[in-house]
Amino acid sequence: MKKQTRNKIDDLAHEAIAERVASVKYPESVPLPVFRGAETQETAYTVEESRQKSRRAAVAPSRQASRQSSGQMFRRYASPFNLVAAALVCCLILPPLAVGRDARLSHISAAVHSRGEIERCRMAAIDIISLAAQGQHNSPRR
């Protein structure tokens, strides 16, 4: 490619990109606090402060959320579902854990008396005996 042609193409590309650059508008709605500080002399912001203050107000919700503290995020995203889930955990999972083996024994007893199946009785009896051998004395009435 001739140098002249190359320069022409480079110039055209430069002009095309320059138009795109020129089409970008400055953020008129949110002037930089550093500029305000410089003009009015009322405050002397540091650059870090200016960064925080000159952020656009209208940002995407996800970015807004990411900037919030964890407490604020909890309040933002707390829903009834979380409360219901916590209540279910408290009612269904924690009591058996707290009661322990006694609850297991009464469960076996209930199964035996309600169904009366021989096999289940046998298995329940084995369970009861094994538990009794381990020092548990809360065997159900027969």
Partner 1 sequence: MNDCLSAFETLYRTYYRRMVVYAGGFSAVPAHERTDLAHDILVHAWLKREQFRPRAGTDRSEEQKLNAWIYALARNFILDRIRANRLRTIPFVEEREAEPIARSKTPEEEAVSSDLLKSIRNAISAMSERDREIAQLVFYERMTAAETARVMGIPGATVRWRLAVMRKALRQTVEERS
Would you tell me which residues interact with partner 1 (CB under 8 A)?
1, 5-6, 8-10, 12-24, 26-27, 32, 34-35, 37-38, 44, 47-48, 50-51, 54-56, 59-60, 63, 66
**Cβ-contact 76, 62 below 8 angstroms:** no
Question: Shortest approach of partner 1 to residue 13 CB, angstroms?
Answer: 4
Name the residue nearer to partner 1 (CB basis): 45 or 128. 45
Q: Cα 104 vs. chain centroid, distance in angstroms?
A: 36
Question: Shortest approach of partner 1 to residue 75 CB, angstroms?
Answer: 23
- CA-to-CA separations, 26 to 57, 60, 135, in angstroms, rounded: 15, 19, 81
Return the structure tokens found at 135: 């020092």
Question: Shortest approach of partner 1 to residue 5 CB, angstroms?
Answer: 7
User: Containing H/E element for 83?
Assistant: helix 80-88
